[in-house]
Every structure is written in C-alpha cells, then in structure tokens.
C-alpha cells in the first residue's frame, strides 16, 4: 500500500486475482470490500484493475479539492444498491470558484491557436481510446448498463473529441461586398465565453464529450455539472483532459447534490454566457427561466417520446431487428429510445409476437457479468416509474406479451417487456418510459399513424420503416421531429446535428452546428 496525501493506492489479493484500488484514505475499507466482491463475482481482465476512479474531489482551476463544506455524494451501484464511492458535493461557493477559474482562463484560451486546441482534443480522444475498457467498467459500476453498451458509449464519446479536434480549425467566418457597394461585410465567429454544461446520468461519458468537445474547440472554458447518480465518469474525463494538455481552469468539474442552487447561482453570474443542458423538459423549462434573467445563450437537449412507425409494406424482419436496437439501446434509458410503436393493423400481431420473442432472448443481470444484455435501471425511482407505467397500461386494456415485472433480487432490474393492443389513449404513450418497455399500438391508415406520432409536446426523434422510399420520405416530412431514422434504428452520429423541435429542445449538438452553438457572430462593416 502506498500513500500520497489523502490518496491511497493498494493491491488487494483476492480469490479471483489481484485488484488495484485507488481511493481516498477514508474510503479504503469500502473500496477493498468492493474490490474483493468484484474479483469474486466478475470475470477479470488480465492483470490489475482500477475499481474506483482516482479523483473523487471537485476539479476546479486544475486542482482537486474537497467541497467547501465537506459534503459528499454517495455513488451507488444499481446492480446491488451498494455504495461504491463517495464524491465531493459542490456548494454554491464552490460553483462560483469554478466560474472564477473558468473566467480567468478564458482570455488566453480564446487566443490559443485553433491547431493547439485541436491537438489537446485529439490527445484526449487517444487517451479515451487507450482506456476504453477501464472507462466502460467505470460507467457500468455507477450507471448499471451492460458492459457492451458501456463499451459502445466510450467509443461514441471519444469520437466527439476526435470530431471537434477536426472542427476546431473550421470556425470559419465570411467576407462579402455589401449589396450597395459602400463597404465590405466581414463576419467573425468568436467564442461565446464561460459555459455551464449540465449532463444527465444515462450517457455519463458521451453527453459530457458532446458538450466539452465543441466548447473547447470554439475557445470557450467550461464548468461541467454531471448528474449526481454518475459523477465518477465526469471526474475521469476531467483528469483525461488535464493529462491531454488542457490548461488549468479550461475544464472544471463540479459534482453536486445542490443542483438547483448551483444552477441558479452560476446562471446569475454575469461572467457566464452559455448554458448547454441535456435532461428532462421539466428541468429544462426551469433552467431557461433562470437563464432568461441574464439573457444567457442556451442550447437545450430535452425530453423525447419517440414514435416507431411500421407501415404495411415494411420488411418485418428488418423492422423487428430495428425495433430491438431502437428500444433496447442503453436498456431503453435514452432520450432517443423508441417509446411508442405504431404498427399497421395487418401486421401488428405478427410484429408484436416476433418482438416479444426477441425480447425474451435477452439476458438480464449485472452489467459486468459475461453475457449480460440488459443491466438494471439507474435507481429505485426509475424502477418504480417503469412499474407504474406498465401497470397503468395493463389497466387500460393492454395485453402482456412478455415481461411486465421487476426481478425479485437486489438491484433495480426490470424484465424486457412488450405490450400488445395498447389503446391509443393509454397514459404510457404520453410519457417518456426510460426503460425496457415497448407498447404496440395498431393503426389503419398512414395519416392516422402520423397523427398519433405527432400527438405529443415532444419532437426529438422518430423512426419509420417502409418498403417504399417515396412514401417514406413523404412521411418523414410530415413527422414533427428534429431527427428521423428511415429504415434505420440509430440516428446519433458525432458528425450529424443532433436535436429536436417543439419541447424537445433548442439548438443542435454534433456536426458543424454543434461548434457554432458555442460561438457568437460578430459583423464588422469595413471599407478598403
């Protein structure tokens, strides 16, 4: 065992092999127990494994520090409900210290040549790629998702650093002659300034890199406020960016249980000029109201209620396979997850039966167990919500084709579920399920399907399966969503503009649009 300040590094010799832990001294007994359990119960990779991220303090101005009041967040493993780490819980004073650090670093970072900013992001991509297995396991431990999903997330998350490493040198402006010929119109893109980034628990790596990447590429400095359920991944990313060469104060990471107070204080600070938020529409509305007080530039990626429409001429095998991906990616805990399945009445029965059969083949268990397809939901509240929605649908007349119950074991597990013949007015169709539940609703005409798909305040993503491209494109134009998967169950791509319409958000993330979200347009009238 070696000690450095408050940190201790120890090797634990267990039946399943040696495990390395790095933790605060106060956490060693708990970390040792977690390491021993993991060594016994999980398949080990060759050599030592880091169970807990080394840094569990606040990352402000390039240094790791405790919360000003000593407050802590207990991080829970959703697979068994046990506490795996304690992370500093930032106060309002800590938040304002992060704003000060970001503001102090802003002038030099804005003036840093784009190529230098690019190289830091590129190095961060390389470090994430090198450590993808360690990061994936960390995500599983605090989020619960299956290891295969976590590995995919790390690859996807790292790609935002690579994409914006390339975009950093492409924040182009323009020059043209005014129509009257009196002057030139010179347009510049400049970094908006200090940015508050608030991310959710369902993709703790990808939702952070999707914001940090373009912000740093544009020349902004950031304060990352991760979800309280999953702060460890965000802290690991802060350490990676520092190792990649990000100067002190450029990236600040502020876990906190005091989300409302911290958000209000930061948005009220005139030094903060940007808010980028991913989360529920309800919380987003409140943040927009706070941001309005100081007219902060906002990008909001909010809730979804994605319809999955299957027309009568669709390839049924392709549609079922697509439904499995669109529904079960990340265990259904995704804003892009297919939430409502509208299937033509002529094929609805067969589609639902095949869908249920495919769902029954999934293996449910702790995310790190070999062969697991579906891990637990993130916490007890999520499990309760999913259970209530399913019970309500059954009460409204839906038929259970498979699943529809929680597992009687430790952790927050819910069986993959397909509900058939769901009434069009069932409450489950009006809410974002955020779990492995698929309600199937039959329809008779394309117009009826479009009307039901659009009958929501949300408009993030829609999915459509059809054998006719012309029909498909016409329906895509009629669907009220910012993104459409046409005969394709995945729409997310770092190179594509991600975002919704209606109450699913404002602005776009990803692609060149994502870079521009962190810039202001400056027009200079000049004559030469």
Q: What is the DSSP string of 339-388?
A: EEEEEEHHHHHHHHHHHHHHHHTPPBS-TTSTT-SB---SSHHHHHHHHH
The 10 Å CB-count burial string (b at 16+, else e) for 495-512 is: eebbbbebbbbbbbbbbe
DSSP reduced 3-state for 181: coil
Question: What domains can be seen in the chain, in order of their start residue?
Answer: 1-52 (no CATH), 56-301 (3.40.605.10), 306-457+461-493 (3.40.309.10)
Of 133, 451, 152, 463, nearest to 320 by C-alpha is 463
Concerning whether 335 is annotated as a catalytic residue, the answer is yes
Q: Catalytic pick from 153, 335, 432, 517?
A: 335
> Which pair of structure tokens corresponds to residue 95?
């938040």
Question: Residues 396, 426: contact at Cβ < 8 Å?
Answer: yes
Alpha-carbon span 119 to 107, nearest angstrom = 19
CA dihedral 378, 379, 382, 386 (to 10 degrees): 90
Which residues, other chains included, contact 137 with Cβ-Cβ below 8 Å and sequence gap of 6+?
49, 147, 150, 368
The residue annotated as part of the active site, out of 137, 153, 159, 301, is 301
Is 301 an annotated catalytic residue?
Answer: yes
Q: In Å, how far from its chain's centre is CA 419?
A: 27
pLDDT by 10s per residue, the chain, length 528: 433 333 344 443 343 344 344 444 434 444 444 444 444 344 333 322 344 567 899 999 999 999 999 999 999 999 999 999 999 999 999 999 999 999 999 999 999 999 999 999 999 999 999 999 999 999 999 999 999 999 999 999 999 999 999 999 999 999 999 999 999 999 999 999 999 999 999 999 999 999 999 999 999 999 999 999 999 999 999 999 999 999 999 999 999 999 999 999 999 999 999 999 999 999 999 999 999 999 999 999 999 999 999 999 999 999 999 999 999 999 999 999 999 999 999 999 999 999 999 999 999 999 999 999 999 999 999 999 999 999 999 999 999 999 999 999 999 999 999 999 999 999 999 999 999 999 999 999 999 999 999 999 999 999 999 999 999 999 999 999 999 999 999 999 999 999 999 999 999 999 999 999 999 999 999 999
Q: How many CB atoms lie within 10 A of CB 143?
A: 30
Which uninterrupted H or E stretch holds 520? strand 519-526
Q: What are phi and psi of 196, to 5 degrees?
A: -95, 120
DSSP H or E run through 196: strand 194-198
In this structure, the dihedral spanned by the alpha carbons of residues 372, 377, 383 and 387, taken in order and rounded to 10 degrees, is -50
């Amino acid at each position: 065992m070696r000690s450095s300040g408050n940190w201790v590094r120890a090797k634990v010799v267990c039946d399943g092999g040696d495990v390395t832990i790095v933790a605060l001294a106060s956490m060693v007994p708990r970390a040792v127990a977690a390491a021993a359990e993991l060594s016994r119960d999980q398949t080990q990779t060759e050599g030592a494994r880091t169970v807990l991220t080394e840094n569990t303090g606040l990352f402000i101005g390039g240094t790791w520090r405790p919360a000003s009041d000593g407050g802590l967040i207990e991080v829970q493993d959703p697979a068994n409900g046990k506490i795996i780490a304690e992370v500093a819980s930032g106060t309002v004073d800590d938040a304002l210290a992060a704003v000060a650090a970001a503001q102090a670093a802003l002038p030099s970072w804005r003036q840093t040549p784009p190529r230098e900013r690019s190289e830091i992001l590129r190095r961060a991509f390389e470090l994430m790629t090198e450590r993808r297995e360690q990061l994936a396991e960390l995500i599983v431990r605090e989020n619960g998702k299956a290891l295969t999903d976590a590995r995919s997330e790390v690859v996807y998350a790292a790609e935002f650093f690579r994409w914006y490493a390339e975009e950093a040198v492409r924040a182009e402006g323009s020059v043209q002659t005014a129509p009257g010929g009196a002057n030139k119109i010179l347009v510049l893109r400049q970094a908006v300034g200090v940015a508050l980034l608030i991310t959710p628990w369902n993709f703790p790596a990808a939702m952070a890199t999707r914001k940090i990447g373009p912000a740093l590429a544009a020349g902004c400095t950031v304060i990352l406020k991760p979800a309280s359920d999953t702060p460890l991944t965000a802290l690991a990313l802060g350490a990676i960016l520092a190792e990649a060469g990000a100067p002190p104060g450029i990236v600040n990471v502020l876990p906190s249980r005091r989300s409302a107070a911290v958000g209000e204080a930061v948005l009220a600070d005139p030094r903060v000029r940007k808010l980028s938020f991913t989360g529920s529409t309800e919380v987003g509305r409140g943040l927009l109201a706070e941001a309005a007080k100081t007219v902060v530039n906002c990008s909001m990626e909010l809730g979804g209620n994605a319809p999955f429409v299957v027309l009568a001429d669709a390839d049924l095998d392709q549609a079922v396979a697509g439904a499995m991906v669109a529904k079960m990616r990340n265990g259904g805990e995704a804003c892009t997850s297919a939430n409502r399945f509208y299937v033509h009445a002529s094929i609805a029965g067969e589609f639902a039966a095949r869908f249920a059969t495919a769902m029954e083949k999934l293996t449910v268990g702790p995310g790190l167990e070999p062969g697991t397809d579906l891990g637990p939901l993130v916490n007890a509240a999520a499990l309760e919500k999913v259970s209530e929605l399913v019970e309500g649908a059954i009460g409204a007349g839906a038929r259970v084709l498979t699943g529809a119950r929680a597992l009687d074991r430790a952790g927050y597990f819910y069986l993959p579920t397909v509900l058939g013949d769901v009434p069009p007015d069932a409450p489950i169709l009006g809410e974002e399920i955020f779990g492995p539940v698929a309600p199937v609703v039959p329809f008779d005409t394309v117009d009826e399907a479009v009307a039901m798909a659009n009958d929501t305040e949300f408009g993030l993503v829609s999915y459509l399966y059809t054998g006719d491209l012309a029909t498909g494109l016409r329906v895509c134009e009629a669907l009220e969503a910012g993104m459409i998967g046409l005969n394709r169950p995945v729409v997310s791509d770092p190179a594509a503009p991600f975002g919704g319409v209606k109450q699913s958000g404002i602005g776009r993330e990803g692609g060149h649009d994502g870079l521009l979200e962190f810039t202001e347009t400056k027009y200079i009238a000049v004559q030469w």
